[in-house]
Amino acid sequence: MDAIFERCCGIDVHKKTIAVCLMVGSAGQKPKTTIKSFGTMTHELIACRDWLASEGCTHVVLESTGVYWKPVFNVLEQRMEVILANARHVKNVPGRKTDVRDCQWLCQLLRHGLIRGSFIPPKPVRELRDLTRYRKKLIQQRASEFNRVQKFLEEANIKLSSVVSDINGVSAQQMIQHLIADDMSPEQMADLAKGRLRHKLSDLQHALQGHLADHQRVLLQVCLQVIQSYDEAIERLSQEIDSKMKAFEPVSELLCSIPGLKKSPLKA
């Protein structure tokens, strides 16, 4: 089988080291093979990139192993085309037992065009994706803390969640703060209700009659502090996401100009 790429490279990635196989040679000829090992510190990856660039390497293939491929990809993509191979498509091949054989095998597959690269979005999209994924994770953790608050209240036989649909609301949060401080009677706390919740004053008074132990007050106070820290972090990420999204506004406007698209896909 004739070669497609005359100067290509296969890299077997690990946490602390990478094994690099460079093959150089025209189609139909046996390529010159050079194998080197580099560390994964930034200056070592830059040295690997510079060496490959000096040899005229045009294409590099990596396996998608955990997160260890990402730093290698970020350094190499600046100078050459990097292909990310699905590990399932290139593993389980007889004879592959060492890092050297791994990188040689990857390079041979790439040289003959036998690797289908995984889709890797552009850098701005990758950055935006990191931000949105982490914000989603924080929102989920914040919801878990609210569930924990509800659990502590139930253990003290305070049935606030049976009357209030959202304990994150302004009225419910004020009541919880006074429960922690133990400075108001159930009737006084119920009178803090706002809006439609004022129609349930009697139910609120009964729901707020419980017994909070000292350790439960501490637990509730810590939970609320954790929730506040999540709120601040989520807001910070939201601001950064909004800033990053400005780069996509021209694309959004272009898509909106296409007949049939009545509103921006980014704002849908």
Higher pLDDT, 2 or 29: 29
pLDDT greater than 70 at residue 266? no
Q: Please tell me the predicted confidence (pLDDT) of residue 257.
A: 62
Mean pLDDT of 16-22: 95
Concatenating the DSSP letter of every residue in 96-133 gives --SHHHHHHHHHHHHHTT---BPP---HHHHHHHHHHH
Q: Please tell me the predicted confidence (pLDDT) of residue 259.
A: 67
Neighbour tally for 1: CB within 10 Å = 10
pLDDT greater than 70 at residue 255? no
Q: Please tell me the predicted confidence (pLDDT) of residue 166.
A: 86
pLDDT greater than 50 at residue 267? no
**Owner of token pair 């292909």:** 83
Segment 132-181, tens digit of pLDDT: 999 999 999 999 999 999 999 999 999 999 999 888 889 999 999 999 99
Domains and CATH numbers, the chain: 7-111 (3.30.420.10), 123-246 (1.10.287)
- Looking at every residue in the chain, the average pLDDT score rounds to 88
User: Sign of the C-alpha dihedral, residues 74, 75, 77, 78?
Assistant: positive
Least confident of 150-164, 174-188, 203-217, 236-250: 236-250
